[in-house]
Amino acid sequence: MTREMQPAALQPLGFWTARAGQAIRARTRGRLAELDVTQPEWWLLHQLSLHLAGAHDVDVVATIGPNESDGAITEAIASSIDKGWVVRDDDRILLTATGTERFHSAATVQRELNDERRHGISDDDYVTTIEVLQRTIANVGGDAWHW
Q: Is there a domain that residue 77 lies in?
A: yes
Distance CA 69, CA 61 (A): 8
Q: Rounded to the nearest 5°, which phi and psi values hold at 95?
A: -70, 145
Give which of 92, 1, 108, 98 is closest to 51, Cα–Cα: 92
Q: Is there a domain that residue 90 lies in?
A: yes
Residue-number span of the structural domain to which 65 is assigned: 30-115
Q: Is there a domain that residue 131 lies in?
A: no
pLDDT at site 31: 98
Q: Is there a domain that residue 85 lies in?
A: yes
pTM (two decimals): 0.89
Residue 45 has pLDDT above 80, yes or no: yes
Please give the average per-residue pLDDT across 26-54, as a whole number.
97
Q: Is there a domain that residue 121 lies in?
A: no
Distance CA 30, CA 34 (A): 7
Could you tell me which residues come within 8 angstroms of residue 81 by beta carbon, excluding any fewer than 6 positions away? 87, 88, 93
CA 95 to the chain's CA centroid: 18
More confident residue, 146 or 80: 80
Q: Is there a domain that residue 139 lies in?
A: no
pLDDT at site 1: 77
| CB-side neighbour CA atoms (13 Å) of 18 | 5
Q: How confident is the model at residue 8 (pLDDT cuts 50, 70, 90)?
A: confident
Q: What CATH number corresponds to the domain at position 97? A: 1.10.10.10
Q: Is there a domain that residue 48 lies in?
A: yes
Q: Is there a domain that residue 120 lies in?
A: no
Distance CA 72, CA 86 (A): 16
Which of 71-101 are b and which e, b meaning 16 or more Cβ less than 10 Å from the residue's Cβ?
ebbbbbbebbeeeebbeeeeebbbbbeebbe
Q: How many domains does the chain have?
A: 1
Model pLDDT for residues 122-131, shown as the tens digit of each residue: 999 999 999 9
pLDDT at site 16: 93
Are 76 and 44 contacting, i.e. CB atoms less than 8 angstroms apart?
yes
